[in-house]
Amino acid sequence: MHLERVGVVGAGVIGVGVIQDLAQTGHDTLAIDVDGEALGRAERILRRSIRLHHLVAGTGQPLNVNEIMSRIRFSTDLELLRDRRFVVENVTEDWSIKQPLYEQLDQICDPSCVFAANTSVIPITKIAAATSRPSQVIGMHFMNPVPLKPVVEMIRGYHTSDTTIAIATQLLSQMDKSAILVNDSPGFVSNRVLMVTINEAAFVLDEGVATAQSVDTIFKDCFGHRMGPLETADLIGVDTILRSIEALREELGDSKYRPCPLLKTMVNAGLLGRKSGKGFYTYEQPGNGEQRDVDGRG
């Protein structure tokens, strides 16, 4: 089954990456967001990201920006998803937003349509229960930046069928990606481990044990990680990190997911990481140029 037309709901950081990756691999991509300004921002980011992709990816030959953008349609109208057979959802990690969205998608989309939840924390089985097609709901946890990541964490919900897994795997293959299939659990594998690490790194910084730079350098130079946990938080978005940790605590009821107060302070102050220009590090502009630790001790 070759999927040519795909819908993407949610044009945030990860959503934009999914949209770009789909369009670059030849898919007719419908980008939906309730916020028209978010769609305008997404279009500007996409043009820049596609133009610079060959430099970032080291592929040599520049991509045809206009050709790729011609495969993307932007809209605030969910009804346009009626002709899609595969929809990737990327909205905020907030059940009060996700649940009604899936109820709407279930009413609008063709009965054969597969829903892929690009969630970091919320169980796929819980999401599937908001629809009348639980066997056609699967988790596809794309990593940031999506166009540069060749592997996706795929999550089988309690009711997810083998057919749905095969369809999702086929779409990823068309995007030149592979999947690692895991079973359903809040946070799955990646975020159950990563969020605890980032949260504890924030505690270490907040308690004055080390600077952000020192924390990240230990993980890079001692353990061989490409990025440290606080750099990773800035890349993902500090607000997303906080929501994910809070959701893990709610879903699992485990005190080890108690959010570091520094994360709440940063979110309240608008220090969200690369997308805001400042997080655990300061950036010359969103996405570039580390300056110093956020607390000034670096």
Domain that holds residue 104: 5-183
Average pLDDT rounded to a whole number, residues 147-175:
97
pTM: 0.86
For 104-144, how does the pLDDT look when each residue is reduced to its tens digit (9 = 90+)? Answer: 999 999 999 999 999 888 999 999 999 999 999 999 999 98
The alpha carbon torsion through 221, 224, 225, 229 (nearest 10 deg) reads -40
CA distance 186 to 204: 25
Q: Identify the CA nearest to 71 among candidates 5, 115, 8, 9.
A: 5
The CATH number of the domain where 35 resides is what? 3.40.50.720
DSSP string, 145-159: SGGG--EEEEEE-SS
- For residue 50, pLDDT over 90 is answered with yes
Number of domains within the chain: 2
- Choose one of 129, 161, 183: the last residue of a domain: 183
Helices 229-236/190-206 angle, 10° precision:
110
Q: Does residue 100 sit in the same domain as residue 225?
A: no
Q: Does residue 118 sit in the same domain as residue 211?
A: no
Q: Is residue 295 part of a domain?
A: no
Radius of gyration of the chain measured on its C-alpha atoms: 19
Q: Does residue 31 sit in the same domain as residue 160?
A: yes
CA distance 169 to 11: 23
Q: Is residue 298 part of a domain?
A: no
Average pLDDT rounded to a whole number, residues 252-276:
96
Residue 290 contacts residue 281 (beta carbons within 8 Å): yes
For 192-240, how does the pLDDT look when each residue is reduced to its tens digit (9 = 90+)? Answer: 999 999 999 999 999 999 999 999 999 999 999 999 999 999 998 999 9
What is the pLDDT, as a whole number, of residue 23? 98
Q: Does residue 101 sit in the same domain as residue 216?
A: no
What is the pLDDT, as a whole number, of residue 56? 87
3-class secondary structure, 16:
helix
